[in-house]
Chains A and B, each alone.
Chain A
Amino acid sequence: MEGPVAVAAPTDAELVATVLNGNRNAFAPLVERYQTGIYNFTYRYTHNREDAADLAQETFLRAFRSLHRYNKKYQLRNWLYSIAANVCRDWSRKNGSRPATMAFAASPGIDSSAEPAGDSSDNPAEIVLTNENSKALADAISQLPDDYRACLILFHIEGISQAEICQILQLPLSVVKNRLYRARLRLRQMLGEVS
């Protein structure tokens, strides 16, 4: 006797089609699928849990409103990231040059939720050092200009390829490479000053 047949999860395109046919509940699996990535992006951008959650929600709402304009040729994930990047840019504009360091310092869960890789180590000194490194790095990222920050988060934290970043931010590859280079340079300078 054969075991239970695994039912394949519906693809993004299928779920989008279901939503477009009038079933709003079919949007939930899509949110479930991409909320971690989008939330991480907004969190790294804002360094504030409440703001990150608000921006993630705004991203999914905007996506829902303009779902009929989604081009199936591109990955839904990239489309959502491009909306998130726009939402974050709007947020940044609205908030001006808000000191992200303060928001970061005020965010309570940064250390508990973002478990650094060093936590697997038994050495407490190493854990502390890695936590400090994480803080310093996150702090430095939050001080980067918006354009650099988005590129850096997408590439180095979300692990998205440069070609996909071009799609997400609608920029030529040379510009993305340049921004990444400059972002890393600035980070190095800032972290050098810290150390």
Chain B
Amino acid sequence: MTKSNQPANPILPPVEPPAELLGNIMAAVAQEPPTAWEKAQSAIAPSQPASVFTMALTLSVALAGIVLIGLLVLAPSVLVSQLQGMLWVVRECAGFVVSGVRITGMFVDSGLALIRPTLVITNQVWSTAAMLLRIVSSGPLLGIVISGCALVIAGQLLLLRLLFTRPVAQHT
């Protein structure tokens, strides 16, 4: 239980604030630079294009919905074939990415196997670097980019190896 409000202290009664306090405060408030919420309001105000964009997006989504429903009602076979086509595209893309990653890994491995004996690097550093490369190359987009780079590097290394037929010592 907490004590309820006490009456004003009889020995120290309220003191009236100076008459100019309100004026001073309001003058200071008027001179204040734009506050956080005023800035936020002014940032929202000129963003009319955003609302137009939202409206256009909503309209296009609605239109797409209408077209889809129309196709579903009027020509379901067309819609099914279209969907199958889209799925095929998605599957192929996914397959491309996966194979890109696999190829990356392969080329990285082979590239590393080629250059490993020629560099003086301890096994531990080597395996860490290979692991890092595999991790980096596991991202789909990066995988494709790195696979390209790895392909070029591996090709150059193969060419070098063919040109200089010095036998490469097996790494133990």
Question: A residues bordering B, Cβ < 8 Å?
Answer: 20, 22, 24-25, 27-28, 31-32, 35-36, 39-40, 43-44, 49, 53, 56-57, 60-61, 64-68, 113-117, 130, 133-134, 137-138, 141, 155-157, 159-163, 166, 173
Contact A137 B11 (CB under 8 A): yes
Contact, CB under 8 Å: B11 / A116: yes
Q: Which residues does chain B contribute within 8 Å of A113, judged by CB atoms?
A: 15-16
**Cβ-Cβ contact count across A and B, 8 Å cutoff:** 103
Q: Residues of B at under 8 Å CB distance from A?
A: 2-18, 21-22, 24-26, 28-30, 32, 35-38, 41
**Interface of B: prevailing SS:** loop
Is chain A's interface secondary structure helix, strand, loop, or mixed overall?
Answer: helix
- Cα distance, A53 to B19, chains bound together (Å): 10
B7 touches A68 (CB 8 A): no
Q: Are B22 and A35 in contact (CB under 8 A)?
A: yes
Chain A residue numbers with a CB within 8 Å of B7 are 159
Bound complex: CA of A61 vs CA of B26, how far in Å?
9
Closest to A159 in B: B6
What is the distance, in angstroms, from A103's C-beta to the closest C-beta of chain B? 14
A43 touching B4 in the complex, CB below 8 Å, given contacts A31-B25, A65-B35 = no
* Contact in complex: B2, A36 (CB < 8 Å): no
